[in-house]
Amino acid sequence: MPAKATSSLGSHPAEGSEGGQPCAGVVFLVVEDHEFQRGMIIRTLRRLGAEEVEGFADGADALEAARRLPRPGAVLMLDLGMPTLDGMDIARIAGAEQLPVSVILHSAQPEDMLLAQVAQARAGGAEVLGAIGKPLTAAKLAPLMARHRRLVAGIAAGPPNPG
């Protein structure tokens, strides 16, 4: 059962990260099978300004929530080491279905392995912002959220007008 942390999903991301709040206005779907780790990530995201965070112990439930998102702008934070559907499986499915989400992979794996996983997920069509080694910190998350905001701003602007 999802560990719901907020009201409804789907609010539009804020344009900036006011007052050092890199997650302000962004919807997060956190997929982590360990309850303690999931809670730590959710609390960290809230401290960093996230207003809507939903936690999932199961990847299938997270995919269902991602499929219901009304517009782009959400971030799927995926643990790589999970039973059944792991983070890479979820990223592949999100890419194949072109779900309106960005992906952040997180794991305790060494950095070189994380980078290889990022490349593999991108090759599968997922919009991967990058990977974060555990534990999650503001310093690790800030550059990925800056990239996410640029991506969402580009989607909102639409294709260039042929003039």
Span 36-68, pLDDT tens digits: 999 999 999 999 999 899 999 999 999 999 999
How many alpha carbons fall within 13 Å on the CB side of residue 143?
5
Residue 38, pLDDT score:
95
In the numeric block, the tokens 């919009």 are attached to 127
Question: CA nearest 22: which of 13, 31, 11, 12?
Answer: 13
Report yes or no on 163 lying in a domain. no
Residue 158, pLDDT score:
58
Question: What percent of the chain has pLDDT above 90?
Answer: 63
- For residues 78 and 91, is the Cβ–Cβ distance under 8 A? yes
Report yes or no on 13 lying in a domain. no
Residue 4, pLDDT score:
36
Cα–Cα distances in angstroms (integers) from residue 82 to residues 33, 56, 95, 128, 154, in the given order: 6, 11, 19, 18, 32
Residue numbers of the chain with a pLDDT score lower than 70? 1-19, 155-163
- For residues 9 and 26, is the Cβ–Cβ distance under 8 A? no
Domain encompassing residue 80: 3-7+23-156
Residue 130, pLDDT score:
95
Q: pTM for the full model?
A: 0.82
- What's the CATH number where 48 sits? 3.40.50.2300
Report yes or no on 14 lying in a domain. no
Report yes or no on 45 lying in a domain. yes
Q: What total of structural domains would you count in the chain?
A: 1
Residue 118, pLDDT score:
94
Element housing 31 (H / E) = strand 27-31
Report yes or no on 161 lying in a domain. no
